[in-house]
Amino acid sequence: MLAPSLALDWPNLPVVRAEGLFLYGLDGKQYMDFMAAFGVVNVGHNHPRVIAAARKQMEKQVHGAVGVTLHESVLRLAEKLPDILPGHLDMFFFGNSGSEAIEGSIKLARNVTKRAGIIAFTGAFHGRTYGAASLTASKALYRTGLDPFLPGIYHVPYADPYHSSHPDDETKCVEESINALETTLNRLIAPSQIAAIIVEPVQGEGGYVVPPKEFLVRLREICTQNDLLLIFDEVQSGFGRTGEWFAAQAFGVEPDIMVLAKGIASGFPLGAVCAHGDLMNRWESTVHGTTFGGNPVSCAAAVATIDTIREEHLIENAKRMGEHLRNKAMELKRKYPVIGDVRGVGLMNGMEFIMPGTDRQPNAAAAKKTLNESLARGLLMYPCGLNGQVIRLAPPLIITQEHVDKAMNILDESLKSL
Ligand SMILES: Cc1ncc(COP(=O)(O)O)c(C=O)c1O
């Protein structure tokens, strides 16, 4: 039996096979996967090139204890990543998941600065392990019955344009968040006690929230001025999802540490803490380690994933299809007053449901009904946001215009049935 904490998630769809954009159900039906298995299969399910690379590696060596022994695929991946990462991130610690990489990033920040404080944001989702859950503030449910959390963490409001008290004014929205951050630095914890600010450059689970660029620019400035490390959690926004390799490039802001997972190896378990060698070399020896991290098969799949994204021009496709998808979603917004907001960057898009005629009052029931109706018509999407009132529109980056149109027609039909 599977533990209900995970296995009772919606919709519990029995699937027997997956290929490209599609999942094939036990019911004999084909489903379009518009959540890309939580932003993991950016190159599509079971991409032949990724499968071939993993299979080839499996025949040579499945496991290698990195450090004790070295294998080619982990070195090839470490050689390739700097070409696609922003700035000067050229040294890596590989683990198995997003949460584990988040743990690594805060251990790195605390260990090199010898400071405990960490600033995170409301709406953030950084994972389920204790350090990552301590940083998470997207839903109280994810923290219920788990106290005490890691000490030294302070949450300040994220710059969330749609939910700010000035929804039509990006400048004021940024000010609101930055003022709260400055109040925290002045009244609660001095910068001299802080190791890092950790932020999702586009929030995922918190509601697919795209902040104004100025928010990330100001965080960078505050970190530089106060000698704090800026950590970007690009677990969900990475690997082409935003129409650039990473959101950091989409916004033109460089972090000191970047955390990667999900799309990095197209479904094989892998996470990475990335930093410049000057910083990484200050992480004291053996303070952090792993048994499975940097697994040869996962690393081979990651190398093939990067090559695939590049050679199939998937970043350009994510940008183009994202624009097309948002245009279509905006048409639906004009048609159905239950849609309060459509937002996104690249193929990381959210559609927020509200009670019509109210001031942005969340309507999770309408979102849920739309999800169920769409699933019955062969379109799998998944909710996010505080109340589950946002639907993610985040298909694999291989999607064609024809399939975007087909999915948006299904969404239209589902909305009509509300
Ligand atoms: C932004 C972000 N960070 C971290 C995580 C945790 O990753 P994992 O589930 O691989 O531990 C997630 C997972 O959804 C995420 O979206």
Per-residue pLDDT tens over the stretch 254-281: 999 999 999 999 999 999 999 999 999 9
CB of 218 within 6 A of ligand 1: the answer is: no
Cis check: omega of the bond before 151, within 30 degrees of 0: no
The structure tokens listed for 298 are 């996962």
Q: Is 275 helix (H, G, I), strand (E, B) or coil?
A: strand
Question: Does residue 8 have a pLDDT over 90?
Answer: no
127 lines ligand 1 (CB under 6 A): yes
What is the 235 CA–ligand 1 centroid distance (Å)?
A: 6
How many Cα atoms sit within 13 Å of 215 on the Cβ side? 26
> Per residue in 375-401, pLDDT tens?
999 999 999 999 999 999 999 999 999
The answer to whether 199 touches 121, Cβ cutoff 8 Å, is: yes
From the CB of residue 164, how many other CB atoms can be counted at a distance below 10 Å?
20
Q: Is the pLDDT of residue 7 over 80?
A: no
β-partners of residue 341 are 352
Please tell me what DSSP assigns to residue 284. Answer: P
Helix boundaries (H) for 247-361 = 247-251, 277-280, 296-311, 314-335
- Which atom of ligand 1 sits closest to the CA of residue 261? 10
pTM of this prediction?
A: 0.98
Answer for the pair 324, 407: CB distance below 8 angstroms, yes or no.
Answer: no
Count of C-beta atoms within a 10 Å radius of residue 395:
29
Per-residue model confidence as pLDDT tens digits over 316-365: 999 999 999 999 999 999 999 999 999 999 999 999 999 999 999 999 99
Quote the ligand 1 centre to 39 CA distance (angstroms). Answer: 10
Per the DSSP assignment, residues forming a β-bridge with 273 are 93, 259
Going by CA atoms, what residue is nearest to atom 14 of ligand 1? 127
Mean pLDDT value across residues 7-36: 96
What number of H helices and E strands is found in the chain?
14, 15
Model pLDDT, residue 6: 83
Kindly state if the Cβ of 232 falls inside 6 Å of ligand 1. Answer: no
Convert the pLDDT of each residue in 109-158 to its tens digit. 999 999 999 999 999 999 999 999 999 999 999 999 999 999 999 999 99
